[in-house]
Amino acid sequence: MFKLALRNILRNKRRSFLTGLSIAFAVMVVIFLWTFVSGIISGMFNNYVTASVGHIRVLNADYLKRETMLPLSATVPNYRQLIIDLEKDPNVKLATGRIKFGVLMDTKGKTKPVLGVGIDPQREEAVLGLSRKLDSGRVPAAGTSETVIGAGLARELGMKTGDTLTVVTQTAHGSLSGLNLKVVGVFNLGVASIDNRTFFLPLDQAQQLLDMDGRVTEIFLLIKDPDKAPQVAAGIGKTLPPGLTAVPWQDNGFLYYMMNIIKYLYAAIYAFILLLASFTILNTMFMAVMERTKEIGMMKALGMREGEIGRLITLESLILGTLASFAGAIGGTLLAYYVSTIGIDYTAAFKSIRDIEMPLAYIYRGEFSWLTILFGFMMGIIFSVLASVFPARRAAKMNAVEAMRE
């Protein structure tokens, strides 16, 4: 029966080719879209976590209430010992202190709000990976008056590696303080809101500038399972000194809910694409079987039983669906690999976006997964077979004479 099914497929090459092409295209589109959409969601989450809120943050409860004002009076004291204690938790991968502070800079006759972030360069390498995201220069060393600035900010200020960035801001006590920082690198995290208005400096230099010796505005934590952040934060919160609180990334307001909305929106779009691809396969296979009604009537007249005809058509659909789905999976794999490694560049679209607090990247890459490719491949086969069942049964039950006349 396999030889007969294969011969029937090859006998009408044009019909088989067009049917297979529709199936292959549907499989390829499903694999590509799932890869790309998954990458966008994952990329936004990673940008949000690494640059802004971590999986968990340990903060002064007072600071949390006024966070948009970046108050330096509400801090986390004795942070070094606290980091040692936090990293004893088996759920915690890394803990590091940060200081965020606002600076007003004059650029082209206008005052521009800029965000300064004091970091531990060595520990932050596992989080931000600055050394891998430099357009030029190097990462600043602890204990030196050095800084790296975002590529967008560097363009706006007309600065490059080797220049001096003068920072004037208020200390934790409300007095003015200034520091000259040598620009040793220009970074490009690929996130417009960070690259356009942020500079990083060693944590000890930020503490000196802001009169915050031994203190930070937050302790930034990465944990092994981000989905368990609320439970881990609750456990950590019980061990913290009075006045401090542990905040999981899920509690960070507007942006978290916005990401959830985007996630569900993409899920709805993907479900629609999957449904559309399924109907494409179903419709194509249905028409391919129905236009063979006369041929099926001939087979019945020659003595083939209903069950044999049904099995033959199902086998033909299985063979054609498998070959077409395999071709579609190859095409989908190539597209998925391309969009996962090269990505799609939205730089031109985001040129006008300066300080929006969304983790929008310039280049979006897909999230390559063999499971996605396997799903697309199996989807093509299953829908090809399912699509042949009803028309095959209908044709097989027809009277031979009526089938030949149709």
pLDDT tens-digit profile of 243-299? 999 999 888 765 566 667 776 777 777 677 667 766 776 676 677 666 667 777 777
| CB atoms inside a 10 Å sphere around CB 63 | 23
> Given the structure tokens 């071709």, which residue do they identify?
327
Rounded Cα–Cα distance for residues 65 and 171 (Å)? 20
**For residue 247, which amino acid is it?**
V
- pLDDT-derived band at 128 (thresholds 50, 70, 90) equals confident
Does the structure show a pLDDT above 60 at 326?
yes
118 φ, ψ to 5°?
A: -85, 125
% of the chain with per-residue pLDDT over 90: 36
pLDDT value of residue 242: 92
pLDDT, tens digit, for every residue of 37-61? 888 777 777 777 777 778 899 999 9
Q: Which two tokens stand for residue 280?
A: 């494409």
Does the structure show a pLDDT above 60 at 398?
yes
- pLDDT-derived band at 90 (thresholds 50, 70, 90) equals very high
DSSP 71: -
pLDDT value of residue 217: 94
Does the structure show a pLDDT above 60 at 356?
no
Rounded Cα–Cα distance for residues 361 and 137 (Å)? 22
Q: Which two tokens stand for residue 138?
A: 């190097």
How far lies 195's CA from each of 126, 151, 391, in Å? 19, 6, 58
Does the structure show a pLDDT above 70 at 185?
yes
* Cα 68–Cα 72–Cα 75 angle in degrees, nearest 5: 105
- First vs last Cα of the chain: how many Å apart? 25
Phi-psi region of 210 (alpha: psi -120 to 50; beta: other; left: phi over 0): alpha
Rounded Cα–Cα distance for residues 389 and 51 (Å)? 53
Q: Which two tokens stand for residue 25?
A: 């295209």
Task: Give residue 57's Cα distance to chain centre.
Answer: 22
Rounded Cα–Cα distance for residues 311 and 289 (Å)? 13
Q: Which two tokens stand for residue 248?
A: 């999981």
